[in-house]
Amino acid sequence: MRKNRALFSDIGAQPEVQPGGETGAVKGTEKPNHLGKRVGQAKELGRDETVHKTLRRIDPERCKMWEHHNRRYELLNETRCHDLIEGIKAQGGQEFPAVVRRLKDDPDYDFEVICGARRHWSIVYLKRQHYDYKFLIDVRDLSDEEAFRLSDVENRDREDISDYERSIDYKVALANYYDGVLSRMAARLEVSVSWLSRFLDLAELPDIIINAYADVTHINSHHAKVLKPLLAKKASERAVCERVLKRAGQLADKQKSASAAGKTGPDGKEVIRSLKEAARGNTKSKKPALKTYAAKGSGKPALEVKQGGKTGLTLRVLPGSGADKAEVQQLCTEALNEHWV
């Protein structure tokens, strides 16, 4: 009886009308308005303001990536997914579901992942580390074009998906869903034609240019804007193009050598700077370094020693190695002891 009295105690009170005509809190009482809350919830449901979704937790091994997913799944690793892995462990599971479509007539998989490649990779990784986590999914009925737009909206502003990955996705979508009409695709994505064009230019860069980078994540849309005029096929500009492609081949070889030695090759800024130098005709060979000293912590080049004239030495401190001042001073002393005649 006490609960019933609390439930119906406010029926006779006069409701306060808020600006705009909405019924607000009941005047003259500080007791919770249980009945009013239930009536409000019923009104929400009647106006379709509350949407209920049925989410599922499944074995992640029963899912595969959609073939047009805009993230290169093979590039995912523990480092790129570290924040998500730690978040899942802290929360005791996924906080946000992945969006999937149901597959038919596939004996190996039940669903394909439209949005949530990092979530899928992280759950699979944790499962193989003997954590008992399931993959949280939201099953949708989507066309390929709808799946593409949904995936693009979710990932467009994320820094952990590269411009190059996104550009390849746009190139495929333009042909498959929009009949090659750039303006139609831009309208559907609600972006400008010029913005979309920059990404499509990036997707057109030749493989020899792509291989000049240590990782596709180092390539951004600005690089396409710089390189596109340098790769023009006009006869008058062919010499520039050939110089750029030749330098790209040299950089690709350097990247392979560095990777084979377990070292880090030139980063994106170094690559684009080198290609621009080649375009300007700065092809004069430089004197090779006598020796390059690496930082202990990162293993990246920290100090370069070159012959300066007939008897001199040039010591160049390289940026981005992570070495502090004390370590650089130690490397300089080591270099002078080794090369000073």
Strands 111-115 and 291-294: unpaired
Amino acid at the residue 113: V
The pLDDT of residue 131 is 92
Cα–Cα distance for residue pair 162/140, rounded to 1 Å:
26
Cα–Cα distance for residue pair 133/67, rounded to 1 Å:
25
> For the whole model, what pTM was predicted?
0.59
**Alpha helices for the chain (secondary structure H):** 2-8, 34-46, 82-91, 117-128, 144-155, 163-177, 182-189, 193-203, 207-210, 221-227, 238-260, 268-280, 325-339
CA R_g for the chain: 30
Cβ-in-10-Å burial (0-12, 13-18, 19+) of 29 comes to exposed
Confirm if 224 and 168 have CB atoms less than 8 A apart. Answer: no
pLDDT in tens, the chain (341 residues): 454 544 444 544 444 444 444 444 444 444 555 555 555 655 554 555 555 577 999 999 999 999 887 777 888 899 889 999 999 999 999 999 999 999 998 999 999 999 999 999 999 999 999 999 999 999 999 999 999 999 888 877 676 678 888 898 899 999 999 999 999 999 999 999 999 999 999 999 999 999 999 988 889 888 988 999 898 777 667 889 999 999 999 999 999 988 888 888 888 889 999 999 999 885 454 567 788 899 888 888 999 988 776 678 888 999 888 899 999 999 999 988 888 76
The packing angle between helices 182-189 and 163-177, to 10°, is 120
Confirm if 285 and 277 have CB atoms less than 8 A apart. Answer: no
User: Which domains does the chain show, CATH number per domain?
Assistant: 2-46 (no CATH), 56-161 (3.90.1530.10), 207-280 (no CATH)
